[in-house]
Amino acid sequence: MPKLLDEIVAIRGDELALADEFGRTTWSELDERTRRLINAFKGASIGPGDTIALMMGNRRECFEIFQAAAHLGVTYVPVNWHWVADELAYVLDDADAKALIVGHRFVEVAEQALSDNRSQGVQLSLALGEGPTEHLNDYEEFISSGNTSDLPADQQLLGGPMFYTSGTTGRPKGVRGALSGGETIPTEVMQLIGSSMASYVPQGGRSLLVGPVYHSAQWAFTFMPMVNGSSVVMRHKFDGAETVKLIDEEKITNIHLVPTQFKRMLDISAEDKESFTGESLEAVWHGAAPCPPPWKKAMLDWFGPKIHEYYGSTEGAFISNILADDWIRKEGSVGKPVETIEVIIIDENGERIEEPNMPGVLYFRNLMGMGFEYHKAPEKTAEAHLEPGVFTTGDIGYLDEEGYLWLSDRKIDMIISGGVNIYPAEIEAVIAEHPGVADVSVIGVPNEEYGEEVKAVVECSDGHQGNDEFSKELLQLCNQKLAGYKRPKSIDFVNQLPRTGTGKILKRKLREPYWEGLERSI
């Protein structure tokens, strides 16, 4: 019996473990399918140290794959399912993926990516809900090929996720953390995995997943509690009215949301709001993007003091949190650092700041010794670290007299749209391919629903004019090479981009006219 499931199955085997639009799975069924999958992977020569990629959507099968990989010492890469074939092929190559498993919605993209020379390392490719295609075999046939025998305890190795996050160098980079895989699972690590989320979600409760599980936070708020006995109900797409209905119908105890989802829930009909009781709900956690205070206050008025906030990153996991009652007193703070994190603030001269309320670059040390590295990018790993074990998110902030953390600025270039981090460098590289572009800068501008949207500001080459026709041409180029959420919503043209004396584009100056008169959380 897989080590992560044995106690839960013994006590609650017939109870719900997973539910999605397509069906429901008990703990006993999950245990059997996980064992079959472990043995099927072994039969396909996928084992400790190998990497598999998943482009599946929010489906029950994701979690059985997470479980199987966790016991087999396999690293899994949850792929952003908005990516186009070029982006998928890049990650398959960069991650050295030996297998690709896709949901029925993404077969066409997968077929195109698997035809790319960069995908030659993929030895096993499977699809859910689709019969065999040119490159993809049936997932259910594969899982049924595995037997249900137990993997000996001494052969159960710890495997985990490698999430890809974009960066200022353009292409996404894999983040390898302490749980990414390869070693025998010691009891203390298992206990850590099982209890690490206890302060965030009710033990043995029921999580609702309505954000993409390829985001590290959505994974952490569902899979990690699952190890401790929490079941997971999920939907592939978010709908505000359906979400409040599901909370009541499925007796949800905890959910992770982003501010854009708050806004959509607040905008549902009065009738849907009145029918919602929320009696089972104990915690709503939000992060991933700054939340406009009016939205948060409205959610607190509606849900009561259950709306809690955290600050973290794919690289550093959870750094701080603030409960609802504290936030009312400390509006705008991201809370106190968690017990396992030491905050180090560095000034512009590289000196440590000890005084309260003095902003500087934020660095963090994980006191449990859990670190990270960027896959195949030692220079990027070094860039993110002040010294071994001390890393930065690139944010600017300070600690107040009571030890609460405040953010006064964030990664200057990053755009956060609907809770999704978008880095301009990759978009700029695509637009710069056009011979009519002398230079380009991509910035975030206000969007009422998503917080920010992507805008490109272009300096034209000689002989080209910045007009509607050229704008459409550049947008079409982006449509061909970028996932939808990365594509600029509009393009502005300028005679000359503002620069420093050394030639660096002044993005803050570019942004100022668009944000004039508007408040920003950070």
Which tens digit of pLDDT belongs to each residue from 112-136? 999 999 999 999 999 998 778 899 9
What pLDDT sits at residue 419? 86
CATH number at residue 460: 3.30.300.30
Are both 357 and 217 inside the same structural domain? Answer: no
Count of domains observed in the chain: 4
Average pLDDT over residues 60-81: 95
Tens of pLDDT along 26-35? 999 999 999 9
Are both 476 and 510 inside the same structural domain? Answer: yes
Helix residue ranges, H only, 167-306: 187-195, 216-220, 223-227, 240-249, 259-266, 270-275, 293-303
Domain boundary among 182, 208, 228: 182
Mean pLDDT of the chain: 89
- Write 328-334 long-range contacts (CB < 8 A, 24+): 328/300, 330/404, 331/293, 332/293, 332/406, 332/521, 333/400, 333/404, 333/405, 333/406, 334/309, 334/310, 334/405, 334/406, 334/407
Are both 175 and 193 inside the same structural domain? Answer: no
Does residue 310 form part of some domain? no
Domain boundary among 411, 426, 451: 411
Are both 61 and 178 inside the same structural domain? Answer: yes
The secondary element (H helix, E strand) that includes residue 43 is helix 27-43
Are both 155 and 258 inside the same structural domain? Answer: no
What pLDDT sits at residue 181? 56
What pLDDT sits at residue 521? 43
Are both 28 and 144 inside the same structural domain? Answer: yes
Does residue 522 form part of some domain? no
For the cut 90, the answer to whether the pLDDT of residue 411 exceeds it is no
Does residue 323 form part of some domain? no
Average pLDDT over residues 1-11: 79
Report the sign of the C-alpha dihedral through residues 264, 265, 266, 269, in that order.
positive
Average pLDDT over residues 457-479: 93
Whether the CB-CB separation of 110 and 100 falls below 8 Å is answered with yes
Are both 152 and 25 inside the same structural domain? Answer: yes
Cβ-count burial of 422 within 10 angstroms (0-12 exposed, 13-18 middle, 19+ buried)? buried
What is the rounded distance in angstroms from the CA atom of residue 283 to the CA atom of residue 45? 42
What pLDDT sits at residue 396? 82
Better-scored residue on pLDDT, 168 or 299: 299
Residue-number span of the structural domain to which 394 is assigned = 330-411
Average pLDDT over residues 474-494: 95
Are both 77 and 62 inside the same structural domain? Answer: yes
What pLDDT sits at residue 349? 86
Are both 153 and 273 inside the same structural domain? Answer: no
Better-scored residue on pLDDT, 31 or 227: 31
pLDDT confidence tier of residue 410, bands split at 50, 70 and 90: low
Better-scored residue on pLDDT, 30 or 259: 30
The residues facing 183 across adjacent strands are: 158
- Write 396-401 long-range contacts (CB < 8 A, 24+): 396/359, 396/360, 396/361, 396/362, 397/345, 397/359, 397/360, 397/362, 398/345, 398/353, 398/356, 398/357, 398/358, 398/359, 398/360, 399/343, 399/345, 399/356, 399/357, 400/333, 400/356, 400/357, 401/356, 401/357
For the cut 80, the answer to whether the pLDDT of residue 179 exceeds it is no
Domain boundary among 390, 411, 432: 411
What pLDDT sits at residue 459? 92
For the cut 70, the answer to whether the pLDDT of residue 198 exceeds it is no
When mean pLDDT is compared across 82-96, 165-179, 262-276, 386-400, the lowest value belongs to 165-179
Are both 463 and 404 inside the same structural domain? Answer: no
3-state secondary structure of 122: coil
For the cut 50, the answer to whether the pLDDT of residue 168 exceeds it is no
Are both 93 and 28 inside the same structural domain? Answer: yes
